[in-house]
Amino acid sequence: MMPLPPNPETLEQYSALAYGAGRVDVSDRTQVRITGADRVKFLHGFCTNDIKRLKAGAGCEAFLTNVKGRVLGHVFVFCGEQDLVLETSPGQAAAILGHLDRYVIREDVQFDHLAARVAEWFVAGPRAEAALAGLLGDTPPANMLAHRTGDLAGVSVSLRRVPLARMPAFLLSCPAERQAEVGRELDQAGARLVAAEIFDIVRVEAGFPLYGRDISDECLPQEVNRDRQAISFTKGCYLGQETVARLDSLGHVNRKLASLRWHGAEMLQPGQELTVAGQAVGRITSAVWSPRAATILALAYLRRGSDSPGTRIETEAGVAEVVEGVANGASS
């Protein structure tokens, strides 16, 4: 559990990333490469977003769903000339590969778990774009989830713009055996190495959920509250679509993931229940002390009626206010 407030070293590292440029080793994140002539048509039939519309160099966010419409994965999909790369939270490869592989019949698709061969840096901050541009000799991708390959001091890398923080943020993939070399180049360009807990702070500030922590196979896609980013309601048929479409026509789900600004000194714990007058209204999934907001920020599933931004929840553990990530809470 992080102390309140964080220790001076954590605050210094946070400042480096939040107000300058920083990097975090996120090589434990899952990367699955899909190749074969039928890769686009195949993946299109198993996720909530429109894969067929993607051009090389573009990407999208999507949910992988089962036949009942439950979420089996929450992924970034990066479209290349000859492949699709799924990128997501750590430890998800076995579930994703097992789910997709069971539906392959005659389709020309192949799956490759890249974990042992590819390392990944999370590079973020107001000065991150300038640092990366100087190293790559070109401007980083401007559109969200756009990506491109490049040469960084003789190392072939893939640079992807991602919504994992409220400041400019990128995932930089490189061969695992060249990670240290790439890290030194990033350091010399001003992207300071910071601890993994800093990544957790900035992604909670941005209201971004992680599968395995904020999302599970008990969740329905609309409960995760990323419809605009991750769900196409006009694409063709896919596994689980009936449930997603029914919820859309109904107009609501009974709970949604929301960002909370906490008014209290006691650190929240994942799994902690939020109650009002003895009645459960939600459950915490992630919580951090945010130096930018100077308070505790959390992600929590809240019962319908308690999840609108601006709502104050007088719980037995203290007072919480629903915010639009920390973008509202930090600057207000």
Q: Do residues 300 and 262 lie in contact, with contact meaning Cβ atoms separated by under 8 Å? A: no
For residue 214 the two structure tokens come to: 């904020």
End-to-end CA distance of the chain: 27
Do 199 and 316 share a structural domain? no
Cα separation, 312 vs 322, in Å, equals 7
What is the dihedral angle through the alpha carbons of 52, 59, 230, 203, rounded to the nearest 10 degrees? 170
| Same domain assignment for residues 213 and 277 | no
Q: How would DSSP label each residue in 226-259?
A: -HHHH--SSS---TTHHHHHHHHHHT--SEEEEE
Do 207 and 303 sit in the same domain of this protein? no
Q: Looking at the structure, do residues 48 and 129 belong to the same domain, yes or no?
A: yes
Report d(CA 82, CA 97) in Å as an integer. Answer: 19
Q: How confident is the model at residue 328 (pLDDT cuts 50, 70, 90)?
A: very low
Which of residues 233, 250, 267 is at a domain's end?
Answer: 250
User: Are 158 and 306 in the same domain?
Assistant: no
* Structural domain count, the chain: 2
Q: Which residue, of 210, 226, 250, is where some domain finishes?
A: 250
Domain final residue pick, 231, 250, 269: 250
Average pLDDT, rounded, for the chain: 93
62 has a pLDDT exceeding 50:
yes
Structure confidence at residue 263 as a pLDDT band (50, 70, 90): confident
Same domain, 148 and 281: no
Q: What is the pLDDT of residues 108-154, one digit of tens each?
A: 999 999 988 999 999 999 999 999 999 999 999 999 999 999 999 99
CATH number of the domain within which 209 lies = 3.30.1360.120
In this predicted structure, the answer to whether residue 314 has a pLDDT above a threshold of 90 is no
Residue 325 pLDDT more than 60? yes
Residue type, 195: A
Tell me, yes or no, whether 155 and 246 share the same domain.
Answer: yes
Domain encompassing residue 161:
1-250
Q: Three-state DSSP class for 151?
A: strand
The SS3 call for residue 330 is coil
Domain CATH for 284:
2.40.30.110
Q: What is the pTM of this model?
A: 0.94
Strands 312-315 and 279-290: unpaired
Most confident listed range (5-19, 202-216, 276-290, 313-327): 202-216
Q: Which of 158, 169, 165, 163 is nearest to 124 (CA)?
A: 169
pLDDT over 70, % of the chain? 96
Task: With beta carbons less than 8 A apart as the criterion, state whether 208 and 171 touch.
Answer: no
Determine what percent of the chain is predicted with pLDDT higher than 90. Answer: 82
Residues 101 and 5 occupy one common structural domain: yes
Query: Backbone dihedral region of 275: left (phi > 0), alpha (psi from -120 to 50 degrees) or beta?
Result: beta
* Measured torsion, CA atoms of residues 310, 313, 317, 319, in degrees rounded to the nearest 10: 50
Give the residue ranges of DSSP H helices in 57-174.
Answer: 93-101, 128-136
**Radius of gyration (C-alpha) of the chain in whole angstroms:** 20
Instruction: Assess whether pLDDT exceeds 50 at residue 327.
Output: no
Q: 1-5, 68-72, 132-136, 182-186: lowest mean pLDDT where?
A: 1-5
Cis previous bond, 5, omega within 30: yes
The 10 Å Cβ neighbour count of residue 197 is 15
The closest alpha carbon to 100, from 160, 53, 35, 54, belongs to: 35
- Residues belonging to the chain: 332
Cβ atoms 126, 168 nearer than 8 A:
yes
For residues 101 and 145, membership in a common domain is answered with: yes
Residue position matching structure tokens 């799994």:
271
Would you place residue 4 in the very low, low, confident or very high pLDDT band (cuts 50, 70, 90)?
low
- 32 and 148, same domain (yes or no): yes
| 246 shares its domain with 270 | no
Lowest-pLDDT range, 132-146, 190-204, 276-290?
Answer: 276-290
SS percent in the chain: helix, strand, coil, step 5: 25, 35, 40
Tell me, yes or no, whether 196 and 285 share the same domain: no
